[in-house]
Structure 1
Amino acid sequence: MNEHFSIGETAKLNNISIQTLRYYDKLGIFKPEYTDPNNGYRYYHISQFFYLDIIKYLKGIQTPLEEIRQIILTTPQEMQRFLEDQENTIENEFKKLENAKCLLEKKKRQLKEQLEICEKERGEVYFRSIKEDRILKMATQSLNPFKGRSGLYVRKLANVLEEKGCIIENQYGYIYSLKPYDDSNMNYEYIYTSVSEESLNIEEPMTIDAIASGDYVCIAFDWSENNKDYYHYYQKLYNYITSNHIQTDGKVYEVSLPTNYSSLKKETFLTELRAKKIEQ
């Protein structure tokens, strides 16, 4: 019985390409037992196939080739420790993929919601049912719709999420009190972003909260850095609520949704102001 096989035969018997076997040989991961000095042909012994299966297994659990080269030289005890570490790595990757899937589903809902808002007449008050949104929020100072830089607050929220291994939500909102203003004393109280993760250990000054589900009275308008009409739209919403004796939770929730996705274009957003209606 022939116990030595050419590189082509070995490739066919083990469902692996000749190029891969040559690459393994070059890396020192899996070498032929014998190379004919006359013609340079490589021959593998049948007993080597067992070790090739180990390599294929390690590759199947996403082990980099450089690590495989080190692992196959270790003891069974070290192999066990590696597999336990690899299991933890894979579980963490599963969690990241699950979070990514949740974020994808949420983003699809947000875009559907954005298209729904787009169908509303700009600058006119309307009612809309909104689902609960779990948020990460932090208090703001000297920040309002007309001036102030929100970028630093956005970075702080994003950095905390990155440190917790979360995928960053690219939608941010603001919360402030529903009350009479002039355009000089309107200030945001909180900035927030949505979070998909179920449990996060967050420290002050940031907190985990939720924007409750329910019916909201809303107004939408196109907003940009040069837009001076924000106060006008807020006042229209406020007057509608007070003149119709609508009870709310006393807060305004502002959400701005991008209408382009490139920094090369002018920064524009579809902005919606929302106030939660409380049933009397």
Structure 2
Amino acid sequence: MKDKLSIGEFAKLRNLTTETLRHYDRIGLLKPIKVDPKTGYRYYSILQYEELGTIKELRELGMSIDEIKKYFDNRNLEQSVNILRDKHEELKNRIKELQQLEESIDEKIKHLEEISKEMNFEDIVIKGIKEREIITFDKSIKNEIDLSYICLKLENELKEIAPIVASNRYGAIIKQKDIELNNYIESLSMFIFIRDRDNIDENHIKKIPKGTYACMYYKGSIWDIGNSLKKMLEYIEEQGYTVCGDALQISQIDISVTDKKEEVLYEIQIPIERNLI
């Protein structure tokens, strides 16, 4: 059995490409034992087999070239253990992040599938809803430019790994006083529901109280709430209720998943209480 192997033969031993070995040579990570001065052919020793295997495994662990060079620099047991321990912590954190992403995507898919099956979009229903927390800057928006800037600011405030795309966590607050004055879009202020308040400025967190809410879906943009809101207010009065707080306008299907205006969907939630007799 021969010791000196061509670059092709050596690459095949570890299922790598010859270009990978040439790259390792150029950056000084794994040098061949000989380079033919006339042909430029690279030759490797079978004794380098383990070193190449270790490089491949460290790359699979996600180590950068610089980290692998450091790993091979004056190696000893303590140094190797410490480097591997650090990489293990990184991997555990990455696994945690991937699990959070998987759970988030799963939740979004289920939400979109369920909401797309909803048939009675114009029905008004009474729901008991638990307390929720939101991030909001209580800043009114007047147009799409305002909307874009405030949504960006809200997302930057939210310290989460998982994306909120396609979720039902975005919404707008309509002040009770503006509902009573029929100025439905005079005080729209955007918010995001939060799940984890860690690292979020407490000054921007607001509680949405639990209670009884009149709820209704409508299709259209965030600005198209007028007719649906009027219908709900008439229903609330007919059923012997009064509005007792700010209304919420929650995005259910938005432009992150569709370009079709007729598919964009919001839910209006208005807190109500029984009229006193």
TM-score over 0.5 (shorter chain): yes
TM-score (norm 2): 0.74
CA distance in 2, matches of 1:132, 1:218: 14
Range with bigger deviation, 182-191 or 95-104: 182-191
Deviation at 1:98, TM superposition (A): 2.0
Give deviations 1:159-182, integer Å, cap 9, x for gaps.
112xx3533424511245667612
Please state whether the residue corresponding to 1:15 is helix, strand or coil: coil
Structure 2 residue aligned with 1:218: 215
Structure 2 residue aligned with 1:96: 97
Counterparts in 2 of 1:1-280, with a 5 A limit? 2-37=2-37, 39-76=39-76, 77-117=78-118, 119-121=119-121, 124-127=122-125, 135-141=133-139, 143=140, 149-161=146-158, 164-170=159-165, 171-176=169-174, 181-184=180-183, 191-195=190-194, 198=196, 200-207=198-205, 217-224=214-221, 227=224, 230-245=225-240, 250=245, 252-258=247-253, 260-261=255-256, 269-275=264-270
TM-score (norm 1): 0.73
CA distance in 2, matches of 1:130, 1:116: 22
Give deviations 1:199-256, integer Å, cap 9, x for gaps.
62322222275786x98532233333764xx333213212212321358875532113
Stretches of structure 1 that go unaligned for 5 or more consecutive residues are: none
CA contact (8 A) 2:174 2:184 kept: no
**Which one-letter code corresponds to 1:205 in the other structure?**
N
CA contact (8 A) 1:136 1:193 kept: yes
Stretches of structure 2 that go unaligned for 5 or more consecutive residues are: none
Q: Percent identity?
A: 25
Give deviations 1:128-187, integer Å, cap 9, x for gaps.
87987965322514x3789994444323321112xx353342451124566761223876
CA distance in 2, matches of 1:112, 1:217: 23
CA contact (8 A) 1:220 1:272 kept: yes
CA contact (8 A) 1:137 1:190 kept: no
